[in-house]
A = this chain, B = another copy of it.
Amino acid sequence: MATELERIIKLTRGVPPDEALPCELVGECCAQALADHGEVLLQYNPATGFAPLRELLAEQAGAPSDALLLGNGSIQLLFFLARVALSEGETVVTERPTYDRALTAFRTLRLNVVGVPMEDDGLNVDALEEAINRHRPRLLYTVPDFQNPTGITASTAKREAVVELAQRHDVLIVEDIPYRLLRYKGTDVPSYRELTPRHTMQLSSFSKLLAPGLRVGWALGDPALVARMAKVAEDAYITPGLLGQGVVYEFLRRGHLEPNLRTLKALYTPRLEALLRGLERELPEGTWAHPQGGFFVGLSLPPGADVRDVARVARESYGLVVSDSGGFFPDGDPSRFVRLPFCALDENEIGQAVARLAWAVDDSRKGGR
Contact = CB atoms under 8 A, between A and B. Distances in A.
A15 interface: yes
A26 B38 contact: yes
B104 A235 contact: yes
Name the prevailing secondary structure of the A interface residues: helix
Given A44-B212, A238-B101, A39 B27 contact: no
A48 interface: no
Contacts of A209: none
Contact of A44 (B15, B23, B72, B105): B15
Interface in A191-219: 207, 211-215
Interface stretch (A129-137, A240-248, A358-366): A240-248
A236 interface: yes
B43 A23 contact: no
A267 interface: no
Interface of A: 13, 15-16, 18, 21, 23-24, 26-27, 30-31, 34-35, 38-45, 72-73, 75-76, 79, 101, 104-105, 108, 207, 211-215, 235-244, 247
Contacts of A13: 44
A343 to B, nearest CB: 13
A341 to B, nearest CB: 12
Given A76-B236, A237-B72, A239-B212, A18 B44 contact: no
A27 B215 CA distance: 19
Given A24-B38, A30-B31, 12 more contacts: A13-B44, A15-B43, A18-B39, A18-B43, A21-B42, A26-B38, A27-B31, A73-B237, A105-B235, A213-B243, A215-B237, A215-B242
A264 to B, nearest CB: 14
B243 A214 contact: yes
A101 B44 CA distance: 14
